[in-house]
Chains A and B, each alone.
Chain A
Amino acid sequence: MARFIVRRVIAAVPVLLGLSVLLFIFVRLLPGGPASAILGQHATPQRIADVNEALGLTRPLYVQYFEYIGRLLHGDFGSSYVDGTKVVDVFLLRFPSTIELTMGALFFAIGLGIPLGRIAARHSNGLIDGIVTVISLFGISIPVFVLGYTLAFFFGVQLHWLPTFGLADPTLGVPAVTNFPIIDGALASLQGGTTAPFVDAIAHVILPSIALGSIPLAVVTRITRAAVIEVSNEDYVRTARAKGLTEKRVDNRHIMRNAWLPVTTVIGLEAGALLAGAVLTETVFNINGVGSWVVDSIRNHDYVVVQSLVLIFAVIFMVVNLIVDIGYAFLNPRIRYS
Chain B
Amino acid sequence: MKQKADLAVYQEETPRVGPPTDPDVLLDVRNLQTHFHVMDGTVKAVDGVDFSLKRGETLGIVGESGCGKSVTALTIMQLLDMPPGEIVGGEIWFEGRDLLTLAPEQIRKIRGADMAMIFQEPMTSLNPVFTIGDQISEAIILHQHVGKKEAMTRAIASLRAVGINAPERRVKQYPHEMSGGIRQRVMIAMALSCNPQLIIADEPTTALDVTIQAQILELIKKIQADSGAALLLITHDLAVVAETVQNVAVMYAGRVVEAGPVEDVLLRPQHPYTLGLLNSIPALHKRGRKLDVIKGVVPNPFRMPPGCKFEPRCPYAWEVCRRSEPDMMDTPGRKSRSRCFLHAAEGAARRYEFEKAAVATVTAGLPEAQA
Give residues in A with beta carbon < 8 Å to B.
234-236, 238-246, 254, 257-258, 331-334
Of the candidates B110, B127, B128, the one whose C-beta lies within 8 Å of that of A244 is: B110
> Which label, helix, strand, loop or mixed, suits the secondary structure of the A interface?
helix
Number of residues from B at the complex interface, CB < 8 A: 29
Contact A240 B108 (CB under 8 A): no
Of the candidates A240, A241, A333, the one whose C-beta lies within 8 Å of that of B128 is: A333
Say whether, besides A234-B124, A239-B126, A334-B174, A244 and B119 are in contact (CB < 8 Å): no
CA A236 to CA B129, docked complex, whole Å:
11
Chain B residue numbers with a CB within 8 Å of A241 are 79, 111
Instruction: List 3 tightest A-B contacts by C-beta distance, closest first.
Output: A244-B112, A243-B112, A244-B111
Task: Kindly supply a per-residue 1/0 record for chain B positions 76-87, scoring 1 wherever the CB is within 8 Å of any chain A CB and 0 otherwise.
Answer: 010100000000
Closest to B136 in A: A243
CA A312 to CA B265, docked complex, whole Å:
77
B121 CB–A CB distance under 8 Å: yes
Contact B129 A239 (CB under 8 A): no
**Which of B7-15, B56-64, B138-146, B160-168 is the contact stretch?**
B138-146
Question: Can you sample 20 A-B contacts with CB below 8 Å?
Answer: A234-B124, A235-B121, A235-B124, A235-B125, A236-B127, A238-B119, A239-B127, A242-B77, A242-B111, A242-B112, A242-B116, A243-B139, A243-B142, A244-B111, A244-B112, A244-B142, A245-B139, A254-B127, A257-B127, A257-B130
Closest to A233 in B: B81
Contact B138 A236 (CB under 8 A): no
Chain A residue numbers with a CB within 8 Å of B119 are 235, 238-239, 242
B190 CB–A CB distance under 8 Å: yes
Contact A236 B111 (CB under 8 A): no
B192 CB–A CB distance under 8 Å: no
Contact B128 A258 (CB under 8 A): yes
Chain B residue numbers with a CB within 8 Å of A333 are 128-129, 131, 174, 176
CA A167 to CA B127, docked complex, whole Å:
45
Closest to A232 in B: B81
Closest to B134 in A: A253
Of the candidates A235, A239, A244, A334, the one whose C-beta lies within 8 Å of that of B108 is: A244
Contact B127 A334 (CB under 8 A): no
CA A331 to CA B127, docked complex, whole Å:
13
A318 to chain B, nearest CB (A): 27
Contact B138 A245 (CB under 8 A): yes
Which residues from 51 to 79 on chain B have a C-beta closer than 8 Å to any C-beta of chain A? 77, 79
Chain A residue numbers with a CB within 8 Å of B128 are 236, 258, 332-334
Chain B residue numbers with a CB within 8 Å of A245 are 108, 112, 138-139, 142
Give residues in B with beta carbon < 8 Å to A.
77, 79, 108-113, 116-117, 119, 121, 124-131, 135, 138-139, 142-143, 174, 176, 187, 190
CA A243 to CA B144, docked complex, whole Å:
12
B36 to chain A, nearest CB (A): 15
Contact A258 B129 (CB under 8 A): yes
A228 to chain B, nearest CB (A): 15
Closest to A242 in B: B117
CA A235 to CA B120, docked complex, whole Å:
10
Chain A residue numbers with a CB within 8 Å of B111 are 241-244
Chain B residue numbers with a CB within 8 Å of A244 are 108-113, 139, 142-143
Contact A332 B129 (CB under 8 A): yes
CA A242 to CA B176, docked complex, whole Å:
21
From A244, A258, A331, name the one whose CB has the most chain B CB atoms within 10 angstroms. A244
Chain A residue numbers with a CB within 8 Å of B125 are 235-236, 238-239
Closest to B191 in A: A242
Chain A residue numbers with a CB within 8 Å of B190 are 239, 243
CA A243 to CA B142, docked complex, whole Å:
9
Chain B residue numbers with a CB within 8 Å of A239 are 119, 125-127, 135, 187, 190
Contact B108 A236 (CB under 8 A): no
Chain B residue numbers with a CB within 8 Å of A332 are 128-129
Chain A residue numbers with a CB within 8 Å of B79 are 238, 241-242
Contact A331 B117 (CB under 8 A): no
Contact B124 A236 (CB under 8 A): yes
Chain A residue numbers with a CB within 8 Å of B126 are 236, 239
CA A258 to CA B128, docked complex, whole Å:
8
From A234, A243, A245, A254, name the one whose CB has the most chain B CB atoms within 10 angstroms. A243
Chain A residue numbers with a CB within 8 Å of B113 are 244
Closest to B124 in A: A235
Say whether, besides A234-B124, A258-B129, A332-B129, A243 and B138 are in contact (CB < 8 Å): yes
Contact B121 A331 (CB under 8 A): no
B100 to chain A, nearest CB (A): 17
Closest to A334 in B: B176
A176 to chain B, nearest CB (A): 44
Chain B residue numbers with a CB within 8 Å of A246 are 108
Chain B residue numbers with a CB within 8 Å of A235 are 119, 121, 124-125
Chain A residue numbers with a CB within 8 Å of B116 are 242
Closest to B177 in A: A333
B27 to chain A, nearest CB (A): 16
CA A332 to CA B129, docked complex, whole Å:
6
B183 to chain A, nearest CB (A): 11
Chain B residue numbers with a CB within 8 Å of A257 are 127, 129-130
Closest to A331 in B: B129
Chain B residue numbers with a CB within 8 Å of A254 are 127
CA A179 to CA B139, docked complex, whole Å:
50
B359 to chain A, nearest CB (A): 43
CA A238 to CA B116, docked complex, whole Å:
12
Chain B residue numbers with a CB within 8 Å of A334 are 128, 174, 176
A337 to chain B, nearest CB (A): 9
A73 to chain B, nearest CB (A): 42
Closest to A244 in B: B112
CA A337 to CA B187, docked complex, whole Å:
25
CA A224 to CA B112, docked complex, whole Å:
29
Closest to B81 in A: A233
B177 to chain A, nearest CB (A): 9
